[in-house]
Chains A and B, each alone.
Chain A
Amino acid sequence: MSSARRGGATFPQAAHVELRNTQLRRNLGHATRTIRAKRAAVVDELDNWQQLREAGAAIKRDVMANLDTYLVEFERAATDAGATVHWAPDADAANDLVAGIVAGHGEHEVVKVKSLTTDEIGLNDALAARGVDALETDFAELILQLDGDWSSHILVPAIHRNRSEIRDLLRRTIGPADLSDDPAALAEAARIHLRERFLRARIGISGANFAIAETGTLVVLESEGNGRMCTTLPEVLISVVGIEKLLPRFEHLAVFMQLLPRSSTGERMNPYTSLWTGVTPGDGPGEMHVVLLDNGRSDVLRDPDGREALHCIRCSACLNVCPVYERTGGHAYGSIYPGPIGAILTPQLEGIGAAASLPYASSLCGACYEVCPVKIDIPRVLVHLRGLTPKRGAERRAMRTLAWLFADAGRYRRAQRLARVLPARVAGAGPMRAWTAGRDLPAVAPQSFREWWHERRP
């Protein structure tokens, strides 16, 4: 699916196309700058942020080390609570399960909460092929669905669209013909369009941000209230959950509820979080299904040097700080998971051969590691994956990527800073071994002449 999304193009080829889109770069620059500043402010406010990151990382390490145990524990707890737990080794199995449940109720329409996992498995297309209309209810997802477009950012999927583009689209599709481009008016158009569908929907579909093994609880974080609508009002709720989303105990959730909103939207807390534990008689759906999805995750788990990628809680902080992402946008990565996390997750989920250029879509500057709320050492995993790529072509592409990245002053400055951290991190490791084995790396000055000059200039 990944290279299909890039139309068979490698990352550098797709990136060159996206780089010509100045509107995209303006929108992205604005978005990533804004979210970066908000995140920094609310993270700085917490004295125990580093402790929280440590705890988050430790919990996730424990989850992965004992994943089989926690999966079985979750199954038992959720089943005891009245949910039906299904197991899906791959995307097709998951889609068949969901489609089967929908067909069993004779329904042709479902309402959906934004879910990367269901995007990953192509659930909407699979349902459409069986005559079921899956309505995306997150505003940005609705915009993309109406336009046949796809997400470019984990958190704000339609970030590559500006308000006049959205106004034109809504005028053409759901909105009144005289709709203005005021964001409040645009949101109101979506509210009116979706409200009646929420109230009549019989089946809701969601993902989950977390699944708690000991209690069988699922957790969804959101902002708009569409998640609450989809998980509360329908009679049947189907949740597709990646097996890496587990947390061992209920108390662990408090750690992630501090890490995720601050890292993601830069808020102390997102407007709405829903937790449900099976069926609650008289309150919410009377029939509850959980589809536990593998789809390549156990392959990632197999690699001791790569399995860290499964710790990701999809906050998107690493996208917002990435100098490569900021320039190319999400589409160039050709995957549901763009940016630094996509560069380490996609090649592992889909097989390194399917996305061999992605581990090179980075300058290894380390900014992603600094912000990651669960301390995934993305640069280390990138270097590891580079060691696994089919060599010659990948190396050639890497050089071309570096050439355009560093072809202007800003890129060059960053390259110099990078050069200082590079030897420590990667010399002698992975694919760089061939480069460094027979060469002595010259020591890099702690400060470049440019920086020295910049500091001393009156």
Chain B
Amino acid sequence: MSDARDVLLGRVRAALTDRPQPAAAVLLPTPPAPADPVALFAERAGEYRAAVHRVGLTGVAALAAEICAAHGARRLAVPQDLPQAWRPHGVETTADATVSALDRVDGVLTGCAAAIAETGTIVLDGGPGQGIRALTLVPDLHICVVPAELVCASVSEAFQRVEPSVRRRRAPLTLISGPSATSDIELSRVEGVHGPRRLEIVIAGQLS
């Protein structure tokens, strides 16, 4: 095995005998700064056919209960550390995140690590209120609470925000923009292939 390593690295070094000099420094472009990132996030997430709701800080649990009712969801998987204030009344919750258990629940409710306004994306890093990756993958309905202060204007800003969790605890990241989709048949978009077929985003923050 170390032979193969030597062979490969040897070839690469031999190929670079001219030691090409790259451009001195890579200039990273300045990201855009939208006037109202939260409104932009709501709009763009909606364009990717996620359902988007906005609610005051104290209204999450009630809204989540309504969403569950609308989908006929009676049992939800939740991460163990989901804030009490977000847990919907009248809906059974379980913290069992084995695949077979997740295959039997009606949906999952989580928080997130960041959101991206310019692309309508939510970012999960397995931190507080998010649980492991399978949690937001196996169930068919994902309700994601996005505290307004986690909405970043741009892709670069969001990456800066989650970079420490990758460096410090090698957190796996998942970027989610709308429900799963395929355009493989004559390019007509079909929502919901293997991941959750429905994505409900609840933006929680001061309502103006």
Contact = CB atoms under 8 A, between A and B. Distances in A.
Interface of A: 27, 30-31, 34-35, 46-48, 51-52, 54-55, 58-59, 61-62, 64-68, 71-72, 81, 86-89, 93, 137-140, 143, 156-159, 162-163, 166, 183-184, 186-187, 190-191, 194-195, 198-199, 215, 217, 223-226, 228-229, 232-233, 243, 250-255, 257-258, 261, 265, 267-278, 280, 282-284, 292, 294, 298-299, 301-302, 304, 307
A396 to B, nearest CB: 32
A93 B180 contact: no
B9 to A, nearest CB: 6
B166 A250 contact: yes
Given A199-B100, A255-B29, 4 more contacts: A58-B27, A143-B184, A233-B134, A274-B173
A55 B26 contact: yes
A120 to B, nearest CB: 16
Interface stretch (B63-71, B86-94, B119-127, B143-151): B119-127
Contact of A252 (B26, B166, B177): B26
A271 B179 contact: yes
Interface residues of B, number: 74
Contact of A51 (B1, B27, B120, B134): B27
Interface in B13-70: 13-16, 18-23, 26-32, 44, 48
A273 B137 CA distance: 12
B85 interface: no
B206 interface: no
A64 B176 CA distance: 31
Contact of A258 (B14, B155, B167, B187): B155
B185 A166 contact: yes
Contacts of A190: 193
A286 to B, nearest CB: 12
B193 A251 contact: no
A233 B100 CA distance: 11
Contact of A61 (B22, B99, B137): B22
Contacts of A58: 22-23, 26-27
A213 to B, nearest CB: 13
B19 A65 contact: yes
B195 interface: yes
A321 B140 CA distance: 37
A223 B166 contact: no
A48 B99 CA distance: 43
Nearest to A303: B15
Nearest to B125: A275
Contact of B184 (A86, A158, A255): A158
Contacts of B116: 269
Contacts of B160: 251, 254
A304 B18 CA distance: 8
B103 interface: yes
A277 B133 CA distance: 13
A143 B186 CA distance: 13
Contact of A283 (B158, B172, B183): B172
A48 B29 contact: yes
B55 to A, nearest CB: 24
Contacts of A59: 26
Contact of B174 (A228, A298, A301): A228
Contacts of B118: 268
Nearest first, the 7 closest Cβ-Cβ pairs linking A and B are A225-B195, A225-B194, A51-B29, A225-B180, A298-B11, A62-B22, A269-B119
B126 to A, nearest CB: 6
A58 B22 CA distance: 7
B179 to A, nearest CB: 7
B197 to A, nearest CB: 9
B111 interface: no
Which one of A87, A88, A187, A278 has the greatest number of beta carbons of chain B within 10 Å? A187
A84 B15 CA distance: 26
B73 interface: no
B117 to A, nearest CB: 10
A337 to B, nearest CB: 19
Nearest to A217: B166
Given A87-B1, A275-B172, A199 B103 contact: yes
A191 B140 CA distance: 12
A228 B133 contact: yes
Contacts of A163: 185-186
Contacts of B9: 68, 71-72, 87
